[in-house]
Amino acid sequence: MKNRILLSFAAAISLTLGSGAAEARDLWTKAQAKSWYDAQPWLVGSNYTPATAINELEMWQAETFDPATIDKELGWAEKLNMKTMRVFLHNLPWENDAAGFKLRIDQFLTIAAKHKIKPMFVLFDSCWDPNPVAGPQHPPIPGVHNSGWVQAPGAARLADKSQYPKLEGYVKDIVGTFGKDPRVLAWDVWNEPNNGGGGNYVATPNKNALVAGLLDKVFDWAQSVDPVQPLTSGVWTGDHWDQTAKLDAVERIQIARSDVLSFHDYSWPETFLVRARQMLSYGRPVLCTEYMARGNGSTFDGSLPIAKKLNIAMINWGFVDGKTQTRLPWDSWKKPYTYEEPPIWFHEVLRADGKPYRVAETDLITRLAAAPKGVVPVAN
């Protein structure tokens, strides 16, 4: 195992330096995308951060990487018949310790494979704190949703084109190292790239234009190392995803460059169905890579059976309640829940001890995942 990874590191370094680079692959045809998707089970899972990590940095940095908790929690996911997890990476651990970071990714993949879970990795992210700093992370802000999550690459690197070679090296090395690894499901190259950020943070000037200029390059860099897994980036805002003229510059890139399409929806089942059909209109496999915000009308009960009938993969936000505190709603940034808990949890499937927040939800996930593709079994 160690020798295999070291050889992969050497290959990735040669790719990053431009010597012996693999021939860049093209966008998958619709037939190629369909063939890949047909070979997968119905994909259901969660966006995953271990309960002991407040963000991507705390998850992946050597001092706080927690394989014991990851093993325990992915074991709980296996019992629910979950087949995938969407997992956020970050460029800073690579910049500071590329070899160690890749060894930890390999260790994570070994644990996930033990539990029959193939993760989708996210390379960049436009949400929450625009000023990521490596090293020890601050503790959770009491009563606040996702109070420590950080953007990647962050506002400073996004605005400074002299930093782009580092970002290119990160993408080519990580995707080059694991781009033919059968334990990896897919690559989400940028989470909600045209998101302003959220929270109470200062907005990044000219962010959408900067992201639109960089996103195309990120797809190029990932394609250049010829991964066997699909690339995607999910649309998340707007009402007319099937009408190219109504997409912004970022969304046009997301739709045009994704091998398989993906989207986010945190609304009522009726809206989920409309958006799902819009995405299916492109004739490519579709993955919903974020959904389920109970207080916003997005629930397992409402969205999951629709997606199962339409053969859309489903990855909800949040798995185990922990330091991200995403059981708390988005409005906690304006009114922190320090006096009492909200009446219902916003995200998360399990409590910290592994017990379901709602048994009916975990029963539904398990039952739907066990049934053939496209089949929604009748409840007992």
pLDDT digits over 178-199, tens only?
Answer: 999 999 999 999 999 999 999 9
Secondary structure element (H or E) that encloses residue 36, with its range: helix 30-38
Condensed to tens digits (0 to 9), the pLDDT of residues 82-119 reads 999 999 999 999 999 999 999 999 999 999 999 999 99
Note the pLDDT of residue 22. 56
Query: Longest C-alpha distance within the chain, in Å?
Result: 60
Cα–Cα dist 21/115, whole Å: 34
Cα–Cα dist 272/371, whole Å: 22
Note the pLDDT of residue 24. 85
Locus of tokens 């310790």 = 97
CA dihedral 204→237→212→314, nearest 10 degrees, is 110
Q: Count Cα atoms within 13 angstroms, Cβ side, for 147.
A: 20
Number of helical H runs and strand E runs in the chain: 12, 8
Note the pLDDT of residue 129. 98
* Per-residue DSSP letter, 193: T
Note the pLDDT of residue 172. 98
Distances (CA, A) of 243 to 189, 236, 247, 267, 275: 23, 14, 7, 20, 12
Locus of tokens 């993408």 = 171
Note the pLDDT of residue 198. 94
Note the pLDDT of residue 10. 41
* Residue segments in the chain with a per-residue pLDDT below the cut of 50: 1-21
Per residue, what are the HEC states of 48-81? CCCCCCCCHHHHHCCCCCCHHHHHHHHHHHHHCC
